[in-house]
Amino acid sequence: MVSQSLFDLTGRVVVITGAGGLLGQEHALAVGRAGGIPVLLELSPEALAAAARRLDAEAISHLAIEVDLTSEAQIATAAGEIKKQFGAVWGLVNNVASNPPMGSAAQGADRLEAFPLTQWDHDIRLGLTSAFLCSRHFGEQMAEAGGGSIINVASDLALISPDQRMYSVGLPEGASAPVKPVSYSVVKSALLGLTRYLATYWSPIPVRCNALVPGSVGGTQSPDLTRELTSRIPLARLAEPGEYQGALVFLLSDASAYMTGANLVMDGGRTAW
């Protein structure tokens, strides 16, 4: 019988970036339900408050900090505040990313030919540079304390290219048809490289680093896009937001003590086809 203590995070402080988002809130709940102390980093005060309310509803001890995750100065300040209050952190979940709803960009602006350089720079800085900076500041704490676990939240689109045909179903085709922006795939793919680098860099300590590779989560897509996505998934459905909680706790806990530099793929089988 597997001991539940393998998955116990009691007293362990885990930092979650983009904690006010759909999955960020679920990550925080997962940490708290396993006994850990989630630290929420989020730019939006409204999203931060919403995440905190969900934790309060379950009497989960936590810390919420409003942070611009594109700013190293703000990340460093937050790291100092957290260390002063709790000591060194145990875990880091690099979750924040730019993933606006399909069709929210100006007509044609999400296509490669017209994709704004300013948007590219922002997406890279938010989704990739923030992961590097947070790993540097919080990973250093883990290394000094003698161990820890970093999770980079990637995507099935880090392993496969987006099938652009499904994003324009029911819409006019041509040069202005919506597509999944290039920056999303690039950021999520790069996180897999960062995962392998960090896994070997701090391996003697050990500070472990793995990637969680989720598939599409239901509830945010149009009916047409939901049908298109579902038809490409062997399990024939999109994920529920809370279905990644077990994987997150596994990667943060001693249950995965011999796992580092790996990609844990949970995409309903989409990348198996």
Residue 128 resides in a domain = yes
188-196 average pLDDT score: 99
Give the tokens for residue 69. Answer: 């995750």
Give the tokens for residue 32. Answer: 């708290």
Residue 190 resides in a domain = yes
Question: Would you state the pLDDT for residue 4?
Answer: 77
Q: What percent of the chain has pLDDT over 70?
A: 93
Question: Would you state the pLDDT for residue 217?
Answer: 96
Phi-psi region of 245 (alpha: psi -120 to 50; beta: other; left: phi over 0): alpha
- Of 16-20, 51-55, 107-111, 137-141, the one with minimum mean pLDDT is 107-111
User: How does residue 68 score in pLDDT terms, banded at 50, 70 and 90?
Assistant: very high
Q: What is the CATH number of the domain that holds 167?
A: 3.40.50.720
What global pTM score does this model have? 0.95
- Separation CA 108–CA 16 (nearest Å): 33
Residue 270 resides in a domain = no
164-185 average pLDDT score: 80
Residue 109 resides in a domain = yes
- Separation CA 95–CA 135 (nearest Å): 12
CA 17 to chain centre: 8
Q: Virtual CA dihedral for 153, 155, 159, 161, nearest 10 degrees?
A: -150
Q: Virtual CA dihedral for 185, 191, 192, 194, nearest 10 degrees?
A: 150
- Separation CA 117–CA 211 (nearest Å): 27
The domain in which residue 234 lies consists of 4-265
What is the average pLDDT value for the chain, to the nearest integer? 94
Residue 273 resides in a domain = no
User: How does residue 169 score in pLDDT terms, banded at 50, 70 and 90?
Assistant: confident
More confident site: 78 or 165: 78
Residue 272 resides in a domain = no
Residue 271 resides in a domain = no
Residues in the chain: 273
105-125 average pLDDT score: 86
**Does residue 122 carry a pLDDT above 90?**
yes
Residue 118 resides in a domain = yes
**Does residue 78 carry a pLDDT above 80?**
yes
30-53 average pLDDT score: 99
- The amino acid present at 28, given as its one-letter code, is A
> How many domains are contained in the chain?
1
Tens of pLDDT, residues 207-261: 999 999 999 999 888 899 999 999 999 999 999 999 999 999 999 999 999 999 9
